[in-house]
A and B are shown apart, each in its own frame.
Chain A
């Protein structure tokens, strides 16, 4: 295999490959590895300041009593956000995908509409929902007022998180639906015919034909969703700002510690922010590997 280079000298291929790889290495891989390195330093956002090696100081700060409460809170928010988004997004997406896989008039348009938020992006979506949930006279506030109550919505400590989760699910469902639709269409029709001949009803066909054969899509969707949700914060940033305690997640903590807006004594320490990145990375690794192992085992059981 390796000897079968057809185009004369191999060096041309090596050169082109190296050129392409160089950019990725410099701007993606080096920064990724560098996070670990600078998490042991006191590097700051201003250039030309001396950088010191501080050992595990940033990590001990992260787990110090002064920061631990805040960090545990952010970690809890991250997990709540990720679990809720993954759960709702997958269940609702599967429901919508099965619906839009029926022979219905206008289903193509419906698919396009559900996918639309992927194109619109977080800023537009953020503004749309800020408008819908604006406390002074938005439609949500009107509905609230029918029941004689009012709410600050994204500014409310108890409601901000559920709302952000809802908006994230709303905006992320298109991609999940499309993945499920692809999975549904890969299921051979013959299986349904055989099942129908065997006298399987709609529910039985769904349970014993559709669902097992859709397992790979479920795995893909769940994994994408878990990893995405553990790391995502753009929508939270746009909807509730960088320092709202109710929606503080680890990614936002990285942003605020590294680039301003942070509360507490270690503001603007990028070494500390890098340490949070490493902690977050470890959590993402553990959670996604555990999820993958669980889903794979379940796939074979079905």
Chain B
């Protein structure tokens, strides 16, 4: 409480926020905490302050990325002359060079493969184990639920996963990496079990009466009923797989199998301090994500909220 209190003061009384003096006009009901209902209209000074703070937040997040773009557009000569200034003569050559030298086409392809297959298998696993447990179609339902919960608190398994891959001949194979990434289902089964409880059991009964078998119901009927949670589980897992760097480092020594995270990391090692080139490479890696994010942003954020809150 004592930790969050002071911040709350600042937020509740935004007129003082930008200057860092949270107590300036204490006690004034400057803020309207409601979203829909408009109580007394907030004073315009307070609103301006709110916009200023929001702008600051946006700058803190946008500046690093804009600076990255600025650097990527500079020639080597211009970078050395003026590393922090605004680019004067934008060049796209860095992107071409980085693309050619960095082998990013292959790395991106690897990442797309790993991410889609591992997230799809992971979502499927979550569905296969989450649904029957939620419905009580198996014995020991409580035991299984607590197992899924306990799986969120497993110890660091880097060493054993490595040994397992080694001994199953899955070391340095795409299959091994995908299987290991797919099995890290995290909150998946819990999320699906939670969501399934909102689907009326009568639908199961109706389908069964119509002669639909369990397998067909699970894989063809149910998914259309629980699309939102399937999408959430897929997205959460896809973010995890796409961003992984450590397991890939351990399990995939062969450079041709690198995901793009590792490819970019290796590129950094090779072109240390050639910042224009490195920035271009970083943008090449980030751009596809930015584009996807641009289109799916609302949905992504919403699904992660759902996932996080239920988990």
Contact = CB atoms under 8 A, between A and B. Distances in A.
Are A and B subunits of one complex? Answer: yes
Interface of A: 1-2, 4-8, 10, 12-14, 16-17, 19-21, 23-24, 26-32, 34-36, 38, 43, 45, 47, 87, 90-92, 94-96, 98-104, 106-124, 126-132, 134, 136-139, 142, 170, 175, 178-179, 181-183, 185, 189, 192-193, 196, 201-203, 205-207, 209-211, 217-218, 220, 224, 227, 231, 233-234, 237-238, 251, 254-255, 258-259, 270, 273-274, 277-278, 280-281, 284-285, 288, 298, 302
B179 to A, nearest CB: 6
Contacts of B39: 192-193, 196
Contacts of A16: 128, 132, 214-215, 218
B76 interface: no
Contacts of B35: 101, 103, 185, 189
Contact of B156 (A115, A122, A238, A254): A254
Contacts of B285: 123-124
B7 A258 contact: no
Best-buried of B65, B132, B159, B213 by chain A (most CB within 10 Å) = B159
Given A99-B50, A100-B54, A34 B304 contact: no
Given A95-B10, A138-B84, A202-B13, A227 B308 contact: no
A2 B286 CA distance: 49
Interface in B132-151: 132-133, 136-139, 141, 151
Given A113-B61, A202-B33, A102 B305 contact: no
Nearest to A121: B243
A123 B54 contact: no
Nearest to B246: A234
B156 A251 contact: yes
A203 B12 contact: yes
13 contacts: A13-B214, A24-B151, A27-B184, A95-B7, A121-B245, A123-B262, A189-B36, A192-B34, A201-B29, A202-B30, A206-B12, A231-B156, A255-B246
Nearest to A21: B129
Contacts of B20: none
Best-buried of A23, A122, A138 by chain B (most CB within 10 Å) = A23
A278 B194 CA distance: 31
Nearest to A127: B282
A101 B129 CA distance: 37
B31 A118 contact: no
Given A124-B285, A128-B65, A175-B308, A237 B245 contact: yes
B265 to A, nearest CB: 6
Nearest to A12: B214
A134 B208 CA distance: 64
Contact of A254 (B3, B34, B159): B159
B297 interface: yes
Given A122-B245, A201-B28, A220-B308, A13 B138 contact: yes
B186 to A, nearest CB: 10
B68 interface: yes
Interface in B141-184: 141, 151, 153-164, 166-167, 179-180, 182-184
Given A131-B278, A273-B158, A179 B243 contact: no
A107 B176 CA distance: 43
A250 to B, nearest CB: 9
Given A2-B141, A116-B290, A131-B282, 14 more contacts: A28-B157, A35-B159, A47-B167, A95-B7, A102-B32, A104-B54, A124-B289, A134-B275, A178-B304, A182-B306, A203-B12, A254-B159, A255-B158, A298-B1
B32 to A, nearest CB: 7
A211 B307 CA distance: 22
Interface string B47-63: 10011011001101110
Best-buried of B5, B61, B80, B264 by chain A (most CB within 10 Å) = B61
Contact of B53 (A99, A101, A103, A270): A99
B170 to A, nearest CB: 9
A288 B150 CA distance: 13
Nearest to A277: B156
A252 to B, nearest CB: 10
Nearest to B128: A20
Interface string B4-33: 110111111110000000000011111111
A20 B125 contact: yes
